[in-house]
Amino acid sequence: MTRLDLFIARMVSQRACLDHGIAATAHMKGPVFELGLGNGRTYHHMRETISDGRPIYVFERAVASHPDSTPPEDLTILGDVRETLPAALDRFGPTASLVHADLGGHNLAKNDEFARLVSPLIQPLLAPGGLMVSSDRMYFDQLEEMPLPDGAIDGRCFIYRA
Ligand SMILES: C[S@@+](CC[C@H](N)C(=O)[O-])C[C@H]1O[C@@H](n2cnc3c(N)ncnc32)[C@H](O)[C@@H]1O
């Protein structure tokens, strides 16, 4: 696979898993968490696709998104997720219906190390039945890894259920 093939596979898988996660949690009332805003493409997709009124809180250390894809201030949780996720647990409790994480960069070993670090901070935020969609393999001891939906490619995206 070329780097272009890998990039396309990741993007196609991200959209398929997000669409699946959004539909499968549409009956839930709890908030949606987007971890890592970046350019805001996945945030924009979630905002346009979630039509049931669930708020989407965005966790990001420095907002630098496209103007069309910038969340309102009251739904932006600024700072390092190593600090903002534990604070979110105090604020929201185990209520999240859907968590999407795309926090990584180009260094796969660093992404994996970070996924190990943040997994125990994400796990307690999910409501029973809530889903987590991630670009990186996560390390949960209480969430179940789910099969990927049609259109997603193994290893390019991961789905976990509380
Ligand atoms: C790959 S980008 C996200 C791309 C986004 N999904 C999109 O579609 O445009 C990763 C983002 O995660 C953020 N990030 C990485 N580590 C973080 C941390 N420890 N705390 C908060 N944000 C972090 C980076 O600042 C970056 O904006």
Q: Facing residues of 114 across strands? A: none
Question: Which residue has a Cα nearest atom 3 of ligand 1?
Answer: 38
pLDDT of the residue at 152: 97
Please give the structure tokens belonging to residue 60: 């990001």
pLDDT of the residue at 34: 98
Low-confidence ranges of the chain (pLDDT < 70): none
What stretch of H or E contains 130?
strand 126-134
Nearest by Cα to 56 from 14, 7, 22: 22
Please give the structure tokens belonging to residue 59: 């966790």
Which atom of ligand 1 lies nearest, measured to the CA of 69?
9
pTM for the structure as a whole: 0.97
Binding site membership of 30 for ligand 1 (Cβ less than 6 Å):
no
Q: Which domain holds residue 156?
A: 3-161
What stretch of H or E contains 129?
strand 126-134
- How far is ligand 1, taken at its centre, from the CA of residue 73, in Å? 17
Which atom of ligand 1 lies nearest, measured to the CA of 39?
9
CA atoms of 159 and 137, how far apart (whole Å) = 9
pLDDT of the residue at 135: 96
pLDDT of the residue at 112: 97
pLDDT of the residue at 65: 97
User: Based on the structure, what is the number of domains in the chain?
Assistant: 1
pLDDT of the residue at 80: 98
Binding site membership of 83 for ligand 1 (Cβ less than 6 Å):
no
pLDDT of the residue at 87: 98
CA atoms of 35 and 155, how far apart (whole Å) = 19
Question: Following DSSP, what letter does each residue of 32-84 receive, concatenated?
Answer: EEEE--TTSHHHHHHHHH--S---EEEEESS----GGG---GGGEEES-HHHH
Please give the structure tokens belonging to residue 54: 């669930």
Which atom of ligand 1 lies nearest, measured to the CA of 81?
20
pLDDT of the residue at 7: 93
Please give the structure tokens belonging to residue 93: 């409790």
pLDDT of the residue at 50: 98
pLDDT of the residue at 19: 98
Binding site membership of 36 for ligand 1 (Cβ less than 6 Å):
yes
- How far is ligand 1, taken at its centre, from the CA of residue 25, in Å? 23
pLDDT of the residue at 55: 98
Supply the CATH number for residue 34's domain: 3.40.50.150
From 12, 37, 49, give the residue whose CB has the most ligand 1 atoms within 8 Å, as the site to mutate. 37
Q: Which residues contact 70 (CB under 8 A, 6 or more apart)?
A: 37, 40, 63
